[in-house]
A and B are shown apart, each in its own frame.
Chain A
Amino acid sequence: MAPIMKVAVIQFPGSNCDTDCQAALLSFPGVEAEIVWHKETSLAGYDAVVLPGGFSYGDYLRCGSIARFSPIMGAVRAAADAGVLVLGICNGFQILCEAGLLPGTLLRNNGLLFRCEHLHLRVENTDTPFTSVLHKGQVLDIPIAHGEGNYFADPETLAQIEANGQVLVRYCDASGNVTPEANPNGSLGNIAGICSHGRNVFGLMPHPERVCDPLLGGSEGRGIFQSMIEAVAQAKAK
C-alpha cells in the first residue's frame, strides 16, 4: 500500500537531528521517511520535506548560510513553490531564513548562552497544515537547544507576518502567558516559529521531534507531525 505521507529528511554535513526526525516520523502509521543527502538534486515523489536541526557546515560564517547553497536547496525551493510542505527545525529554520524561504533571520541569543531546556510554546494559529490538530492558545511543552534563535525581522516585515497570521508559536509560561521572562533568546514578539505567506513552509527553533515518545520525555511534539499527515492525506483525497 502506498504510504499516506512520504517525507524526505535532508541531511547536511553537520546535521545531527536527522535520524531523530526520521524516527519520530516513522512512529506514525502510514508514514515513510527517508534520509536524503544534501548533494541530491531532486525531491520528486516526496509529500513533505524536513530540514532537521544540527550545525550544518559547523555553523561557519552564519548558521545556515552555507547549507542554503547546497545542491538540494534548489529542489527544496521548487518544492516549496509547488506547495509541498517544508518543515525546518532549529538549524533547518535558520537555513530556510538564509534561503529567503521564510522572512527575517535568527540572531545570537541575547544572553549569549546556548540554551538547552524544556519550555512552553503557545499555539497562535491553527489554520495551517502544521497546526491544524492543535488548539489556538494550547500550551505545548517542547525543548529548545540553540545559541542563535533570536528571531529578528525589520519592523515592516514583522508587522506583515503578524497581520498575516504567520506567527504559529510563541514562547510563553506554563499558563500560556507571553512574557519577557518566558523569552529564552530575545526573539521579537517571543516568536518561536513562523510560516510562509503561503502557509506551506514552517520554521521553528524548538524541537518537536524530541517529544514524540512518552518514554523520551513527552509526546507534545506529535501534533505538528500529525497535522502534516492530515494535510497530505486531505490533499491526496481530492
Chain B
Amino acid sequence: MKAVVTVMPKPAILDPAGVAAGRAMEHLGLKGVRSVRIGKSIEIEVDGADEKQLHEIAHDLLSNPVVEDYKLEILS
C-alpha cells in the first residue's frame, strides 16, 4: 500500500515560516501574495496495513491535533 499524509498548520495558527517565505516571494517580484502556509508531506509504503491504522498513525504521531490538521490519501 502507498499512502501520502499531508500535515498542515490549522488555519488559526500563525505560521511564521510561511510568512517569511511569502515576504521572500514578494521580494522576488511575485505580486499579490495573500497567504503562504508551510506543512509536511509524508509518503508511506507499507505492507498489510489498513486505512484505519494509517489514520491512527497520522493522528497520533504524524500530526499534533492541537495545532495541525492531516489529510490521508491512499495512492495504491
Contact = CB atoms under 8 A, between A and B. Distances in A.
Is this pair of chains taken from one and the same complex? yes
Interface of A: 61-62, 65-66, 69, 97-98, 104-105, 107-112, 152-154, 186
Contact of B16 (A61, A97, A105, A108): A108
A110 B67 CA distance: 15
Interface string B51-76: 00000000001101011000000000
Contacts, number: 32
A104 B61 contact: no
A104 B64 CA distance: 10
Contacts of B17: 108, 112
Contact of A110 (B14, B61, B66): B14
Interface in B5-53: 13-14, 16-17, 20
A62 B66 CA distance: 12
21 contacts: A62-B64, A66-B61, A97-B66, A98-B64, A104-B66, A105-B64, A105-B66, A105-B67, A107-B13, A107-B14, A107-B67, A108-B16, A109-B16, A110-B16, A111-B16, A112-B16, A112-B17, A112-B20, A152-B66, A152-B67, A186-B14
A61 B62 contact: yes
Given A107-B14, A110-B14, A154-B66, 16 more contacts: A61-B61, A61-B62, A65-B64, A66-B61, A69-B61, A97-B66, A104-B66, A105-B64, A107-B13, A107-B67, A108-B16, A109-B16, A110-B16, A112-B16, A152-B66, A186-B16
